[in-house]
């Protein structure tokens, strides 16, 4: 029986992008199943009473230097998104409409569109060009948005205050910089 790594993310987060690029290989090496859980980062920050990085100029300046350095270190392609932050609620709702490999493939497509190609995921025409009109229409349904809100609220109840957040059982690992701790934890099981 393999262990499950639950990955909570929003394509808005550059750290979630880096973690997303690293986690599949890590899960494979650790013989773990990777489950992707789309959430709304702005809503997590609101529910957890956490100040968004864009509201703290020194923090945002640091992130804009740190993220490209991390991407270079890991050999991950990155071009800082020209429209940051972008409104990703509809994109994350699209990801709630699909599961399994399709969710993984579309997540990669959206992360790459935002963090490599610099596309504005908040623009409906751009989103349609990436995932198709049917999925964008499906994502606009109230039940889908409610699914995203529920997933977001549940991860905050579990202790999350931002993304990327991973869980292995009840153990939480926050941030790309804690993936090594997740690996240590799984190697000890």
pLDDT in tens, 78-109: 999 888 999 999 999 999 999 999 999 999 99
Q: Average of pLDDT values for 104-129?
A: 97
The enclosing domain of 33 has a CATH number of 3.40.30.10
Radius of gyration of the chain (CA): 16
How many structural domains does the chain have? Answer: 1
pTM of the model: 0.96
Q: How many CB atoms lie within 10 A of CB 89?
A: 20
Rounded Cα–Cα distance for residues 27 and 39 (Å): 21
- Round the average pLDDT of the chain to a whole number and report it: 96
Residue 81: what pLDDT? 84
Q: Rounded CA gap, 144 and 150, in Å?
A: 10
For residue 131, how many C-alpha atoms fall within 13 Å in the half-sphere facing its CB? 31
Separation of alpha carbons 111 and 67, rounded Å = 14
With contact defined as beta carbons under 8 Å apart, do 74 and 21 qualify? yes
Strand partners, 33: 4
The domain in which residue 13 lies consists of 3-188
At 82 the pLDDT is: 84
């Amino acid at each position: 029986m393999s262990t499950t790594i639950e990955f909570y993310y929003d394509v808005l987060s550059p750290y979630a992008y880096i973690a997303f690029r690293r986690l599949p290989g890590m899960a494979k090496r650790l013989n773990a199943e990777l489950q992707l859980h789309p959430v709304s980062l702005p809503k997590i920050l609101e529910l957890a009473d956490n100040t968004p990085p864009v509201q703290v100029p020194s923090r945002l300046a640091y992130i804009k230097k740190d993220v490209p350095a991390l991407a270079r270190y890991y050999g991950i392609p990155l071009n800082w998104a020209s429209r940051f932050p972008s409104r990703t609620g509809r994109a994350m709702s699209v990801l709630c409409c699909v599961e399994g490999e399709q969710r993984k493939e579309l997540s990669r497509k959206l992360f790459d569109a935002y963090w490599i190609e610099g596309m504005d995921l908040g623009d409906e025409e751009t989103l349609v060009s990436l995932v198709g009109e049917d999925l964008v229409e499906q994502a606009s349904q109230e039940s889908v948005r409610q699914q995203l809100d529920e997933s977001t609220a549940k991860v905050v109840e579990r202790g999350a205050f931002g993304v990327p957040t991973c869980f292995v059982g009840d153990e939480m690992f926050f941030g790309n910089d804690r993936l090594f701790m997740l690996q240590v934890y799984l190697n000890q099981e």
